[in-house]
Structure 1
Amino acid sequence: MISDEKGISMPVFLIERRYAAQFEASAERAGQINLINDDEGVRWLYSFLSKDKRKSYCLYDAPSEEAVRNAARRAGLPADVIVEVADRVSPDGALSPL
């Protein structure tokens, strides 16, 4: 769990998104997504984009999976797989909470 700006811990979710066409990132689009996320109470932490730009893997903190799905729907983004994550494993095998 990651704490928000108020110190409240929220679950962390990994979202796999599959796009029909190549994804094109822009500051304007990111701003629109962030406004919707704020309204839904979710926070976009960061994303990884596949080499072919047809998939992304995004890390969000949110109160629930439903909040993530609602934000994605409103933003017109796919949310094909949503997994709540709780721990991080380091290359040395150490396990630590997010």
Structure 2
Amino acid sequence: MPRYMVERTFPDGLEIPMNSEGAAACLGVVDRNADLGVTWVHSYVSDDKRKTFCIYDGPTPEAIRQAAERNGLPVDQVSKVSVLDPYFYK
């Protein structure tokens, strides 16, 4: 399955509460993504919470964008990526 990095901008910052409501919101994203064969692996969030860099597995960039739309999430850019691990060279 191809892997993608999705860059997003949240002008007002991303706020996900650290409670059961936040957990339910994240699990809702996971469920809606699954309908399209898209898996959210993890995300990196900037200190000011205005930018995220999210790693997804999915069949196509279009499926990644469609999943974002279903979840009401912005998409600045979708890039196909692969892992570069410094320990691979040992």
TM > 0.5: yes
User: Deviations along 1:40-72, whole A, 9 cap, x unmatched?
Assistant: 110000001000000100000000000000000
* 3-state SS of 1:17 partner: strand
SS of aligned partner of 1:53: coil
The share of aligned pairs that are identical, in percent, is 38
CA RMSD, aligned part only? 1.4
**1:29 Cα deviation after fit:** 1.1
Matched, 1:20 2:16: no
Which residue number corresponds to residue 80 of structure 1?
76
If each structure's helix is expressed as a fraction of its own residues, which one has the higher value? 2
Shift of residue 89 of structure 1?
A: 3.9
Cα distance in structure 2, aligned partners of 1:47 and 1:72: 14
Query: What is the TM-score with the length of structure 1 in the denominator?
Result: 0.79
Task: Find runs of 4+ consecutive structure 1 residues off by over 4 angstroms.
Answer: none
Tell me how many residue pairs correspond in the alignment: 84
Distance 1:93 1:35, change over 3 A: closer
When you count strand as a share of all residues, which structure comes out higher?
1
Structure 1 spans left out of the alignment, 5+ residues:
1-9
Q: Which has the higher contact order (CA 8 A, sep 6+)?
A: 2
Q: CA deviation at 1:87?
A: 3.5
* Matching residue of 2:58: 62
**For residues 93 and 34 of structure 1, do their structure 2 counterparts lie closer, same or farther at Cα, with a shift above 3 Å needed?**
closer
Q: Distance in 2 between matches of 1:81 and 1:28?
A: 26
2:13 maps to a residue whose letter is Q
In structure 2, the gaps of 5 or more residues are 17-21
TM-score, normalised by the number of residues in structure 2: 0.86
TM alignment of 1:35-46, pairs within 5 A: 35-46=31-42
